[in-house]
Structure 1
Amino acid sequence: MTLKEMLKKTTIDSVLNELLISYPECIADKHHYKSVLEFIDSTPTINFNDFMIMVSLIDPSEDDGYEEDIDEEAYLSIAGYSEKENLHFALGFSRWEEWANAEIVIQEDLELKTEELLAMCLYEMTFYGFNQDEIASELEDLEKGIMLH
């Protein structure tokens, strides 16, 4: 199932409510988040298979060398995965059209409400801002900085 398909199973207001429960600091930008959800909803459905969106629970306590009270607690991870390149990557700089149409794969034993998952994805999608051109520019600057070193 894709983000676009999941959004059709709920309402934009329900996703926004979940977003503000999970990320209360987002209240000032609620209208921006609503615009992104409307963008996803209106984005044409395309067959997109460049990457998948992988949703999983990362539990540092399962790693060797874990130290209680020092290492992090378990957390949810949303990452891209390219099967073709066998590569996991951060999705923050991905185009929203890609987010909308990428297949979402949820870890088998993970139980999330649709609105909760959509809110998490929305937060990740907009981590670098609410304007895709500015986000692309930020990525370009980042890549230039990496090349200079």
Structure 2
Amino acid sequence: MMVTLKQLIMDTDFNQVWECIARHYEIRAEVTIDNYKDKYKDLYEKLATLKPTDNSKNMYIYINVFKDDGNDDYYCPDSFDENDEELYFDVSGKDDEWCGYSIVNCGFEKWLGFYIDEDTLAKLSPPNIIAHCLVEMTFFGFEQKLDEEGYLIID
């Protein structure tokens, strides 16, 4: 059965998701990540009430996991502990023709309707999957202006 991001959010407690965000994104933030906790919590509650857009292109969210080998070269480890703070995560989308896309400019409703790819579900827990998606979804901020097709209007 295909699982959407919305389903994961409905079944997962925000505090578990927050632990993952704080763990993996603390070092990349110029301000302490705790300043964002309320924003993420408000967004999480909002996402739980939003109606997902119909996923007409059968878009899947997949997350690649990388590690730095110490020489600024990145590789994908075959096995890893998802809570390892040295991991990097790349979130993107693939459609039914398996073309890869950046989905950073998709509106929240689109994200909610996207399926989670099976490999991603197999290697990462729901709180981690949601955490990496939330960080990607808010790359341009927590407020969204959308065009009629549900993509971000970036000022």
> Do Structure 1 and Structure 2 share a fold, with TM-score over 0.5?
yes
Structure 1: tracts of 5 or more residues without a match? 62-67, 142-149
* 1:44 lines up with 2:48 in the alignment: no
TM-score, normalising length from structure 2? Answer: 0.70
Report the RMSD for the aligned CA atoms in angstroms: 2.8
Paired residue for 2:7, among 5, 8, 25? 5
TM-score, normalising length from structure 1? Answer: 0.73
Change (3 A) 1:71 1:122: same
Query: Secondary structure at the residue paired with 2:56?
Result: coil
Paired residue for 2:105, among 68, 90, 93? 93
Query: Secondary structure at the residue paired with 2:117?
Result: strand
Kindly, what percent of the aligned residue pairs are identical?
A: 22
Which residue of structure 1 lines up, in the alignment, with residue 83 of structure 2? none
Q: Is the contact made by 2:60 and 2:115 (CA closer than 8 Å) also made in structure 1?
A: yes
Equivalent pairs counted in the alignment come to 132
Structure 2: tracts of 5 or more residues without a match? 77-87
Paired residue for 1:53, among 56, 61, 82? 61
Which residue of structure 2 lines up, in the alignment, with residue 131 of structure 1? 143
Which residue of structure 1 lines up, in the alignment, with residue 89 of structure 2? 76
Q: Is the contact made by 1:56 and 1:107 (CA closer than 8 Å) also made in structure 2?
A: no
Which residue of structure 2 lines up, in the alignment, with residue 144 of structure 1? none
Q: Which has the higher helix share?
A: 1
- The CA deviation string for residues 93-146 of structure 1, in whole angstroms up to 9 with x for no partner, is 1011111111110427952121111101100100111111188231xx5xxxxx
Structure 1: 4+ residue segments shifted above 4 A: 58-61
